[in-house]
C-alpha cells in the first residue's frame, strides 16, 4: 500500500480547539490535509477537503483536487472516498469524485448528505467497515457523535479530527474540539501505543509553509 498526504492549506485555530482547556485567545497554526491510500485495485481518499477554505482564512491554499492532479491522478481515478466526519473542511469537495463509492458512518451521513452528489454509490456503516484488505474504518465518536478514523495495515492510524496535533498524545491532553471527551480519551489510550503510526489532518508540523503532495510510504 502507498500512502500519500495531500496538503492543501494552512490557517490558525484557537488553542482551546486544539487542546482541551486551552486559551481561546491564543491562535495556533494548523494545516489542512487529506490522504490517498493506493492499493493494487483501489485509489482511496480519506476525506475530500474543501474548495473554499470552509470559513478559515488560509495563508496558503490550493484545492485538494488540484493537489491530487499534481500527484498524477484525476478525480475519476478515485474509487472510494472515506469521510471521517461531515464538517465542511473534510467533506465539502466530495462532489468532484462522481465515480467513487462514498463511505460514511450511517448517522454522520444525515449531516453530510447535502455535500454528496446524487450519482454516487453510498456505503453507510455502523461501527466498523473494511473497505478492502488492510483498510478499516472505525467509528470513534469523540470529535462528533459519529466521527471515525481509518486504520491501514493495522499500523497507520488516520486520525480525522479525533486529535489535531501529535502534541496532544505527547502531553496526554485530548482535543478541545471533542463533543464526547470520554471517547476522545479512550481513543488516545488505545492508539497511543508505539506500534501505531499516527497520521494527522491538521498538525502544524506537516510540511509547514507548503502545499502539495508528500509520500508517507
Angstrom CA distances, 119 to 41, 62, 111, stand at 22, 26, 18
Per-residue pLDDT of the chain (217 residues; tens, 9 = 90+): 999 999 999 999 999 999 999 999 999 999 999 999 999 999 999 999 999 999 999 999 999 999 999 999 999 999 999 999 999 999 999 999 999 999 999 999 999 999 998 889 999 999 999 999 999 999 999 999 999 999 999 999 999 999 999 999 999 999 999 999 999 999 999 999 999 999 999 999 999 999 999 999 9
Q: How far apart are CA 123 and CA 139, in angstroms?
A: 14
* Full domain range(s) for residue 34: 2-215
In degrees, rounded to 5, the angle at the alpha carbon of residue 74 between the alpha carbons of residues 88 and 77 is: 95
Side by side, the strands of the sheet bearing 197-199 are: 128-132, 135-139, 148-152, 156-158, 197-199
How many domains in the chain? 1
**Domain CATH for 46:** 3.60.15.10
Question: Please, are residues 47 and 84 in contact by the beta-carbon 8 Å criterion?
Answer: yes
Amino acid at each position: 500500500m502507498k500512502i500519500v498526504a495531500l496538503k492543501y492549506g494552512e490557517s490558525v485555530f484557537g488553542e482551546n480547539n486544539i487542546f482541551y482547556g486551552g486559551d481561546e485567545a491564543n491562535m495556533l497554526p494548523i494545516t489542512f490535509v487529506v490522504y490517498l491510500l493506493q492499493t493494487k485495485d483501489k485509489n482511496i481518499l480519506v476525506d475530500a477537503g474543501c474548495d473554499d477554505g470552509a470559513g478559515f482564512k488560509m495563508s496558503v491554499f490550493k484545492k485538494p483536487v488540484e493537489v491530487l492532479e499534481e500527484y498524477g491522478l484525476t478525480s475519476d481515478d478515485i474509487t472510494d472516498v472515506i469521510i471521517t466526519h461531515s464538517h465542511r473542511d473534510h467533506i465539502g469537495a466530495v462532489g468532484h469524485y462522481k465515480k467513487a463509492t462514498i463511505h460514511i458512518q450511517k448517522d454522520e451521513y444525515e449531516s453530510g448528505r447535502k455535500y454528496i452528489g446524487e450519482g454516487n454509490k453510498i456505503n453507510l456503516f455502523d461501527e466498523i467497515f473494511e473497505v478492502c484488505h488492510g483498510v478499516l474504518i472505525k467509528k470513534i465518536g469523540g470529535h462528533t457523535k459519529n466521527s471515525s478514523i481509518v486504520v491501514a495495515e493495522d499500523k497507520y492510524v488516520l486520525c480525522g479530527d479525533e486529535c489535531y496535533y501529535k502534541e496532544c498524545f505527547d502531553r496526554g491532553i485530548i482535543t478541545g474540539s471533542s463533543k464526547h471527551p470520554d471517547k476522545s480519551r479512550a481513543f488516545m489510550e488505545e492508539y497511543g501505543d508505539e506500534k501505531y503510526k499516527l497520521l494527522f489532518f491538521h498538525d502544524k508540523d506537516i510540511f509547514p509553509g507548503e502545499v502539495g503532495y508528500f509520500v508517507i510510504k
